[in-house]
């Protein structure tokens, strides 16, 4: 027996692309472009944890206060898109769109990511937080007639988020600047602050920070290599990132490019000497040698250890064959007998319908073994190859006082290239 494992192809690192979009007007829309990169590699220390790891370093809030983000899987990036007030912001205005407000795409968005083979999966993303580096035209004491940041806004400073947004208890402040961050629940609408005092031209957001959450595809159902995809959010009044009618952005698009890198494991270990399989009767040959009791079955069970985090199939290659089976040959008398081979896989590996794999026949045409898949990362778990000569064939092989030797080479292939 010659076992072969066809390893997954090495992951190919791809650079994500930038799609330039032009509006049908005289001035082209400008895109702020961010790249988000996540990887999956099975971990023998945590075989049940099959998740991508976001490798994109956080910027802004989640970098400065990681303990507020890590427990909920929140990440943040800085969008270098300034906003400038197009008019004074009036005290106690009735329309929330005339002041400091934010409405972000907090619902989950499906994003298609594609492998070089054409395989497609769905990644989900939602915006889960928003923060601003706000700059004011005057010191806060002048804006509030000697007061402070808590006096400028109804409900207190920006650290106190307006519902439905949620504050995080963190801010940095200066005499003319205020930086804070709000969590945004799923499906949230407008979060707006109303000033108690007029804010003259021109209040600015130097940039904004957005927090995001990812739902990555099931990596065990993905191919080795890179999956890439892109999505674009619009920025401006009434658009995806909406800061009201007064605060106007310099750029109108925010494009996110994704690269998911999958590095699978498929490894099979045969114990020393396991490549040479000797078929014998149950209990050995002693009954035949001592009492002439002809055996009815010749077999051998050969164990192996398998590590698998990806789909695979199994195939046979035979030196000699008999129909869909391999065969063993006795050259001196020009005789051959079919060799039946089957496989039992460890718990965690199932067939395409989710059924356990117990003594599944291995045939030359590959039927019945086209797809095996892990429910979790299987790390060095034992399986068994079963080799057997059926009773009808054993009868023709064994004769008293006649030495015969049947042999043949069989190659068993574990193949990760599954269509």
The answer on 170 and 253 residing in a single domain is: yes
The answer on 125 and 100 residing in a single domain is: yes
To the nearest 10°, the Cα dihedral for 91, 95, 100, 103? 170
The answer on 359 and 239 residing in a single domain is: no
Last residue of a domain, one of 262, 283, 299: 262
Last residue of a domain, one of 262, 280, 300: 262
7-48 pLDDT, tens per residue? 544 433 322 222 223 333 334 456 799 999 999 999 888 888
DSSP label at residue 284: -
The answer to whether 91 and 108 have CB atoms below 8 angstroms apart is no
The answer on 309 and 254 residing in a single domain is: no
Query: Which CATH number covers residue 341?
Result: 2.60.40
Length of the chain: 419
Which segment of 6-15, 174-183, 297-306, 348-357 scores lowest on mean pLDDT? 6-15
Percent of the chain scoring above 70 in pLDDT: 90
To the nearest 10°, the Cα dihedral for 138, 141, 146, 147? 130
pLDDT recorded at residue 21: 31
SS3 of residue 96 by DSSP:
helix
Mean pLDDT of all residues in 303-315 = 95
The answer on 376 and 299 residing in a single domain is: yes
- Render 360-408 in DSSP notation, one character per residue: EEE-TT-TT-S-EEESS-EEEEEEEEEEEE-HHHHHHH-BTTB----B-
Structural domain count, the chain: 2
Mean residue pLDDT of the chain comes to 89
The answer on 173 and 33 residing in a single domain is: yes
The answer on 232 and 100 residing in a single domain is: yes
Last residue of a domain, one of 208, 231, 262: 262
Q: Is-above-0.95 flag for pTM? A: no
The answer on 325 and 223 residing in a single domain is: no
The answer on 78 and 163 residing in a single domain is: yes
The answer on 286 and 226 residing in a single domain is: no
User: What is the extent of the structural domain holding 241?
Assistant: 2-262
pLDDT recorded at residue 200: 95
Q: And the tokens for 263?
A: 């590095």
pLDDT recorded at residue 400: 67
The answer on 177 and 37 residing in a single domain is: yes
Whether the predicted pLDDT of 50 surpasses 80: yes
Partners of 288 in beta bridges: none
pLDDT recorded at residue 29: 53
The answer on 255 and 108 residing in a single domain is: yes
């Amino acid at each position: 027996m010659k076992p072969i494992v066809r390893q997954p192809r090495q992951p190919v690192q791809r650079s994500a692309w930038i799609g330039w979009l032009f509006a049908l007007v005289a001035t082209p829309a400008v895109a702020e472009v961010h790249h988000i990169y996540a990887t999956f590699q099975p971990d023998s220390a945590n075989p049940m944890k099959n998740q991508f790891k976001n490798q994109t370093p956080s910027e802004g809030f989640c970098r400065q206060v990681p303990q507020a983000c890590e427990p909920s899987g929140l990440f943040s990036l800085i969008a270098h898109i300034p906003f400038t007030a197009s008019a004074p912001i009036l005290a106690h205005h009735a329309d929330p769109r005339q002041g400091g407000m934010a409405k972000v795409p907090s619902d989950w968005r499906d994003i298609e990511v594609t492998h070089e083979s054409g395989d497609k999966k769905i990644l989900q993303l939602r915006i889960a937080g928003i923060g601003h580096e706000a700059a004011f035209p005057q010191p806060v004491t002048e804006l509030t007639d000697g007061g402070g940041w808590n006096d400028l806004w109804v409900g207190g400073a920006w650290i106190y988020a307006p519902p439905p947004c949620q504050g995080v208890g963190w801010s940095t402040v200066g005499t003319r600047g205020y930086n804070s961050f709000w969590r945004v629940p799923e499906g949230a609408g407008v979060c707006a602050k109303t000033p108690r005092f007029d804010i003259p031209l021109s209040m600015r957001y130097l940039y904004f920070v957005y927090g995001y959450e990812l739902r990555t595809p099931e990596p065990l159902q993905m191919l080795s290599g890179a999956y890439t995809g892109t999505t674009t959010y619009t920025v401006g009044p009434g658009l995806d990132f909406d800061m009201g009618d007064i605060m106007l952005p310099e750029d109108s698009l925010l494009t996110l490019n994704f690269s998911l890198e999958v590095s699978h494991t498929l490894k099979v270990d045969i114990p020393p000497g396991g490549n040479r399989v000797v078929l014998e009767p149950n209990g050995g040959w002693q009954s035949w040698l001592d009492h002439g009791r002809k055996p009815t079955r010749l077999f051998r069970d050969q164990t192996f250890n398998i590590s698998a985090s990806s789909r695979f199939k199994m195939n046979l290659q035979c030196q000699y064959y008999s129909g869909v089976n391999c065969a063993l040959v006795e050259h001196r008398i020009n005789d051959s007998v079919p060799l039946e081979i089957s496989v039992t896989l460890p718990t965690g590996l199932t067939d395409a319908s989710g059924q356990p794999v117990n003594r599944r026949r291995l045939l030359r045409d590959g039927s019945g073994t086209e797809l095996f898949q892990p429910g979790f990362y299987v790390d060095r778990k034992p399986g068994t190859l079963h080799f057997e000569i059926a009773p009808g064939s054993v009868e023709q092989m064994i004769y008293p006082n006649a030495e015969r030797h049947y042999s043949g080479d069989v190659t068993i292939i574990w193949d990760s290239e599954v269509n």
